[in-house]
Structure 1
C-alpha cells in the first residue's frame, strides 16, 4: 500500500532507517491481528500465507 505520509508505517512499527521494513500483518474480519510475518522473504512468502490460510479452513 502507499503510505506517503508514513502514518500507517508508524502505527505498525514498520518504519525502517532508510526504507520501510517488509512485514505482513494478517488481520481477521473483526479487525483482530492474527499473525505478523517479520523479515519477509519474497521468494516463498506467498506459499507461507497460503499455508496459514489452509490451516484455518
Structure 2
C-alpha cells in the first residue's frame, strides 16, 4: 500500500508541478518526515488523510 501511495503522491505532484518540499510545507511537517511517511517508515494515518485532501486524491 505504501509504495502505491508514494507513486500516487509523486504522480500528482508532477501533474501539479509542485515539489515534495511544497507538500511538506502544506502539511506542516519536515520534508524528511514526509519522506518517512511516503516510504512507510512512519505510520501517520492522520497525515496521510491530510496529504490526500491537499492533493485531492481518492481513498481513505
TM-score when normalising by structure 2? 0.31
Q: When you count helix as a share of all residues, which structure comes out higher?
A: 2
TM-score when normalising by structure 1? 0.32
Q: When you count strand as a share of all residues, which structure comes out higher?
A: 1
